[in-house]
Amino acid sequence: MKIHDISMEISEDMPVYKNKEEKKPRIEPTYRIGKFKSNESMLHLDSHTGTHVDAPFHFIQEGTKLNKVPIEKFAGPCIVIDLTDIKKRGIEETDLKNAEIKKNDIVILKTSNSLKEFDFEFVALAESGAKYLISKNIKSVGINSLGIERSQKGYPTHNSLLKNNIIIFEGLELSKIKPGRYFFLCLPLKIKDGDASPARAVLVEGL
Amino acid sequence: MKIHDISMEISEDMPVYKNKEEKKPRIEPTYRIGKFKSNESMLHLDSHTGTHVDAPFHFIQEGTKLNKVPIEKFAGPCIVIDLTDIKKRGIEETDLKNAEIKKNDIVILKTSNSLKEFDFEFVALAESGAKYLISKNIKSVGINSLGIERSQKGYPTHNSLLKNNIIIFEGLELSKIKPGRYFFLCLPLKIKDGDASPARAVLVEGL
């Protein structure tokens, strides 16, 4: 068994969505050894920091909140699809048609996006791509950008996925990952009435 | 495969260590549907909130920080040991001697503790118990209380475990879990220079 860590490091100078100052993490030391017996901290984190999980409630007012999403949605067989040829446009249905997506798969979109800094022209999932994934009865979907959608009118990608209870993983660090099949896990904090949560994500080989 | 969620729900009224007000989570709505297109939040969390992972740096100044702990430390074969007969005293070496602990196991201590409210007399791991687990070359250790140690002089339980790079999982919700062997996973946020992090924990059957 080999575990690949595909998570972003959380730090005060990490990239955040649209470089918005208010979305930057703040890590506040509360106890430090010397004055105290131990090191402890307060974490001030936007719910969409770094590698994170979107619950239906993020875009759907009546949608399932994070603490009520079944744990099975966050783990399972996955396919990492190579979409690194796409530049500066959305991922459409035609880009996905050749991938061997199985029912209940977690689909991971490996694009040419980098997570080193926020790219305003990041490759996102277009509406036709989202609708195709819904038609394939997938479990969840992930991507290597801080969003799965750029600002589209009516946010059809988020809305259509989340209305169908397809959970979204954003900020996956896939630069060292080869396309293919793995076991995926990304377990969010069980936040009461949560819209999203930062999380650690892994791909497991040989399970 | 069956996944058991053994995580505490994170809410503003959840139990916290010694009921300290400053350790209570605060979940701040930042965007709400109606005024905005989506729901988003800021999470203000003590690094030791609810179900969480302690890195060596929590008690050892030169200890490994959370972002540098190998990912394999957080996942692997585990044994859940029934120690629910112990009341109001520490878990000693003699309490653990009959358990079939294997090298590199993650050892989960199921005690009579409840996570419904903070119990100042919670059952903890005594120094002799910690030293026994170290001698068995375990990988990590977890318990169903917000701490693995009550205030002992010099904190020998934390110090001896963490000096040996044995990672500690606290706040595991084990009330519905039968003793026996499982696959354990509890992946903390990859916090730069972190001492600890809240995390979602699961036990997997049939892997």
**Residue A102, C-beta contacts closer than 8 angstroms, at least 6 positions apart:** A77, A79
* Residue in A closest to B154 by C-alpha: A37
User: What is the average pLDDT score of chain A?
Assistant: 97
Task: With CB atoms and an 8 Å threshold, state whether A38 touches B158.
Answer: yes
Q: Is the pLDDT of residue A151 over 90?
A: no
Question: Residue A196: which of B134, B52, B10 has the closest Cα?
Answer: B10
- Mutate one of B22, B47, B73, B186 to test the A interface: name it (highest A CB count within 10 A): B47
**Could you say which of B7, B155, B190 has the minimum Cβ distance to residue A10?**
B190
| Full strand arrangement of the beta sheet holding A201-205 | A2-5, A201-205, A180-186, A75-82, A106-110, A140-143, A167-170, A52-54, A196-198
Task: With CB atoms and an 8 Å threshold, state whether A7 touches B47.
Answer: no
Closest-CA distance, A195 to chain B, in angstroms, reads 6
CATH topology of domain A2-8+47-205: Glucose Oxidase; domain 1 (3.50.30)
User: What is the average pLDDT score of chain B?
Assistant: 97
- Mutate one of A14, A17, A41 to test the B interface: name it (highest B CB count within 10 A): A41
Question: Residue A51: which of A86, A15, A88 has the closest Cα?
Answer: A15
| CA torsion through residues B138, B143, B148, B150, sign | negative
Task: Work out the angle at residue B192's Cα, subtended by the Cα atoms of residues B191 and B193, and round it to the nearest 5 degrees.
Answer: 110
What average pLDDT does range A125-150 have in this prediction?
97
What is the spatial distance between Cα A49 and Cα A200, in angstroms, rounded to a whole number? 11
Kindly list the residues from chain B whose CB atom is less than 8 angstroms away from the CB atom of residue A104.
none
Chain segment B29-39, per-residue pLDDT in tens: 999 999 999 99
**Could you say which of A7, A8, A40 has the minimum Cβ distance to residue B195?**
A40
The percentage of residues in chain B with a pLDDT greater than 70, rounded to a whole number, is: 100
Q: What pLDDT shows up at residue B93?
A: 98
Kindly list the residues from chain B whose CB atom is less than 8 angstroms away from the CB atom of residue A206.
none
Q: Identify the H or E element spanning A160.
A: helix A156-163
The percentage of residues in chain B with a pLDDT greater than 90, rounded to a whole number, is: 97
Kindly list the residues from chain A whose CB atom is less than 8 angstroms away from the CB atom of residue B201.
187
What is the spatial distance between Cα A144 and Cα A160, in angstroms, rounded to a whole number? 20
**Could you say which of B30, B46, B187 has the minimum Cβ distance to residue A202?**
B187
Question: Residue B157: which of B180, B181, B182, B123 has the closest Cα?
Answer: B123
Kindly list the residues from chain B whose CB atom is less than 8 angstroms away from the CB atom of residue A46.
30, 40-43
Q: What pLDDT shows up at residue B88?
A: 84
What is the spatial distance between Cα B154 and Cα B130, in angstroms, rounded to a whole number? 14
Q: Is the pLDDT of residue A207 over 90?
A: no
Would you place residue B114 in the very low, low, confident or very high pLDDT band (cuts 50, 70, 90)? Answer: very high
Kindly list the residues from chain A whose CB atom is less than 8 angstroms away from the CB atom of residue B191.
9-11, 27, 41, 43
What is the spatial distance between Cα A24 and Cα A83, in angstroms, rounded to a whole number? 29
Q: What pLDDT shows up at residue B207?
A: 79
Q: What pLDDT shows up at residue B152?
A: 87
Show the tokens assigned to B124: 């903890």
**Mode of pairing for the β-strands spanning A180-186 and A196-198:** unpaired
Task: With CB atoms and an 8 Å threshold, state whether A7 touches B67.
Answer: no
Report how far Cα A105 is from the mean position of its chain's Cα atoms: 15
**Mode of pairing for the β-strands spanning A75-82 and A180-186:** antiparallel
User: If you count residue pairs, one on A and one on B, with CB atoms under 8 Å apart, how many are there?
Assistant: 171
Kindly list the residues from chain A whose CB atom is less than 8 angstroms away from the CB atom of residue B189.
7, 10, 43, 45, 198-200
Would you place residue A133 in the very low, low, confident or very high pLDDT band (cuts 50, 70, 90)? Answer: very high
Q: What pLDDT shows up at residue B151?
A: 81
Q: What one-character DSSP code corresponds to residue B191? A: B
Closest-CA distance, B126 to chain A, in angstroms, reads 18
**Residue B62, C-beta contacts closer than 8 angstroms, at least 6 positions apart:** none
**Could you say which of A75, A190, A201 has the minimum Cβ distance to residue B8?**
A190
Exposure on the CB side of residue A101, measured as CA atoms within 13 A: 27
Chain segment A89-116, per-residue pLDDT in tens: 999 999 999 999 999 999 999 999 999 9
Task: With CB atoms and an 8 Å threshold, state whether A195 touches B58.
Answer: no
Show the tokens assigned to B140: 């990590």
Q: According to the CATH classification, is domain B2-10+46-205 in 3.40.50.300?
A: no
Task: Tell me the three state secondary structure of residue B137.
Answer: coil
Q: Is the pLDDT of residue A32 over 90?
A: yes
The percentage of residues in chain A with a pLDDT greater than 90, rounded to a whole number, is: 97
Kindly list the residues from chain A whose CB atom is less than 8 angstroms away from the CB atom of residue B187.
185, 187, 199-202
Chain segment B124-182, per-residue pLDDT in tens: 999 999 999 999 999 999 999 999 999 889 999 999 999 999 999 999 999 999 999 99
Kindly list the residues from chain A whose CB atom is less than 8 angstroms away from the CB atom of residue B58.
38-40
- Residue A45 bridge partners (DSSP): B43
Domain ranges of chain A: 2-8+47-205
What is the spatial distance between Cα A10 and Cα A24, in angstroms, rounded to a whole number? 10
C-alpha to C-alpha distances, A17 to A46, A156, B51, B68, B159, nearest whole angstrom? 10, 19, 28, 25, 39
Region of residue A25 (left: phi > 0; alpha: psi -120 to 50; beta: else)? beta
Would you place residue A69 in the very low, low, confident or very high pLDDT band (cuts 50, 70, 90)? Answer: very high
Q: What pLDDT shows up at residue A88?
A: 84
Amino acid at B202: V
